[in-house]
Amino acid sequence: MTDDLRALFLRHVCQTSDSPMGLVVTSAAGATVRDADGREYLDLLAGMGVANVGHAHPEVVAAIRAQAERHLHVMVYGEFVLETQVRLAAGLVAQLPPALSVVYFSSSGAEAVDGALKTARKATGRPRFVAFAGGFHGDTWGALSVGGNPVYRGPFEPLLPDVVILPFDEVGALSAIDDRTAAVIVEPVQAEGGVRIPGSDFLPALRRRCDEVRALLVFDEVVTGFGRTGKLFAHEHWGVVPDLLVLAKALGGGLPLGAFVGRPELMGTLAHDPPLAHVTTFGGHPLSCAAGLAALGVLLRDRLAERARVLGERLLGELRTMTGRGGLAAVRGLGLLIGLEFDDAAACGGFARRAWERGLILNWTLHRDTVVRLAPPLVLSDDEAARALRGVAAALTA
């Protein structure tokens, strides 16, 4: 049965790499994923940043079940009053700066990025977007256009015109942001770019420059939101408030959900000239919002952002003692978003393969083949953290 299923997967499900992991999943709970052979894996990627409260959290599952018994999809986004959608929007903005008070729900992070770019273009009437080398914002046409890796952009060009890519974390480059710029989009911490954490002056300087030329500042917190970096949202580390905030991944508690959040007057531009200037069928699906609302409740009640900060500091300290083994050159991170930098791609790939053989789910980042990203569920227990450290150490010395 397992072999048949894997063969059908390879034949009929579009492959996005030449060597997919191919794990036949039967169940997942907390930080554990189980396969069809009964083997347990420790998930150190949290489903690529989705399972911040863990896989199949009982309260999230209960909320999904209760909502499924009430109703599923009933009308396109923004027309009917759906309780879970409204309560999640209210719950989100209660945790954000007062300026960020209106939510537009989407189905994914890339869709939310596209919506934020459209909003910025409509609100400002300006043609240009600015993004940063190493940045990743998704793979739709608009999101790819502001992506900072030419390897992934090149095959699909020409993309959106008038996009300027600046070096990340270089204050001196920000003068290129001018009065033709509609918006600047940036990840507070570049995740797929190799867990690159900017210095203390970069994001504040970026905010000042956007204010000087009246460009909008868009923070992409698809990965860094919901406690991942030791704060509920990563922009809190720098005290910088964006004009638009993009969210996804952990937002839905395990179901597909994205959003962008902004000021009322900014978001209100989507309601006129023309009406329905940005629409979606499944964005803010009531099932996804029910899951997201439950996940947000767990995150806040159990203080998982604080857990990420404390456990992240502990893991960083232990991992840094392993520098020099197996080609490990450097360790950096913020909360439970940790990057292991290797001397070269071969050392990085070899480490990832050996870790997989020891039951650890991890991999190198999409835009940096010398960096392995660790982003486990924030509910990772102390015993599981110790197991992860043992597995990493063994994979480095094998």
The whole-number pLDDT of residue 367 equals 83
pLDDT at 182 over 70: yes
Which residue intervals of the chain bear CATH 3.90.1150.10?
2-53+303-397
Neighbouring residues of 289: CB distance < 8 A, sequence distance ≥ 6: 82, 84, 85, 87, 88, 105, 257
Neighbour order of strands in the sheet with 25-29: 25-29, 32-35, 40-43, 360-361
Strand order in the sheet with 328-334: 328-334, 337-342, 368-374, 363-365
Which residues, including other chains, have CB under 8 Å from residue 361's CB and lie 6 or more apart?
A: 33, 41, 42, 43, 44, 45
Name the pLDDT band for 1 (thresholds 50, 70, 90). Answer: low
Tens digit of each residue's pLDDT (9 = 90 or more) over 213-226: 999 999 999 999 99
- Give percent of the chain above pLDDT 90: 91
Q: Answer yes or no: is pLDDT of 257 > 90.
A: yes
Q: Is-contact 184 146, C-beta < 8 A?
A: no
pLDDT of residue 16: 85
pLDDT at position 3: 80
pLDDT at position 365 is 84
- In whole angstroms, what is the distance from residue 78 CA to residue 64 CA? 21
Name the amino acid, one letter, at 212.
Answer: E
Contact between 95 and 261 (Cβ < 8 Å): no
**Beta strand pairing call for 128-132 and 181-186:** parallel
pLDDT of residue 2: 79
* 0.85 surpassed by pTM: yes
pLDDT at residue 82, rounded to an integer:
96
Q: Residues 225, 53: contact at Cβ < 8 Å?
A: no
Q: What burial class does residue 82 get, using C-beta atoms within 10 Å of its C-beta: 0-12 exposed, 13-18 middle, 19+ buried?
A: buried
Is domain 2-53+303-397 annotated with CATH 3.40.190.80?
A: no
Q: Which CATH number fits domain 59-301: 3.30.1330.10, 3.40.640.10, 2.40.10.10, 3.40.50.2300?
A: 3.40.640.10
Q: What DSSP line would sit under 146-202, residue for residue?
A: T-S-HHHHGGG-S-SSSEEEE-TT-GGGGGG--TTEEEEEE-SSBTTTTSB---TTH
Region of poorest pLDDT, from 165-169, 251-255, 272-276, 285-289:
272-276
Rounded to a whole number of angstroms, the CA Rg of the chain reads 21
DSSP string, 333-367: EETTEEEEEESSHHHHHHHHHHHHHTTEE-EEETT
pLDDT (average), residues 273-300: 96
- For residues 268 and 16, what is the distance between their CA atoms, to the nearest angstrom? 38
What pLDDT was estimated at residue 17? 84
DSSP labels, 310-326 = HHHHHHHHHHHTTTTST
Do strands 244-247 and 216-220 pair parallel, antiparallel, or not at all (unpaired)? parallel
Residue 118: CB atoms within 10 Å:
17
Q: Strand, helix or coil at 122?
A: helix
pLDDT for position 19: 82
Predicted pLDDT of residue 27: 97
Is residue 297 scored above 80 in pLDDT?
yes
Residue 230 has pLDDT above 80, yes or no: yes
> Where do you find CATH 3.40.640.10 in the chain?
59-301
Q: What six digits make up the tokens of 92?
A: 């989100």
Pure H helices in the chain: 2-12, 46-49, 58-70, 83-93, 109-124, 141-145, 150-153, 202-213, 264-267, 286-301, 304-320, 345-357, 382-397
Q: What is the mean pLDDT of the chain?
A: 96
What does the pLDDT look like over 279-289, one tens digit per residue? Answer: 999 999 999 99
Q: Which residue has the tokens 């599952």?
A: 61
pLDDT band at 67 (very low <50, low <70, confident <90, very high): very high
**Which is it for strands 216-220 and 181-186: parallel, antiparallel or unpaired?**
parallel
Express each pLDDT in 341-358 by its tens digit. Answer: 999 999 999 999 999 999
Question: 181 - beta bridge partners?
Answer: 128
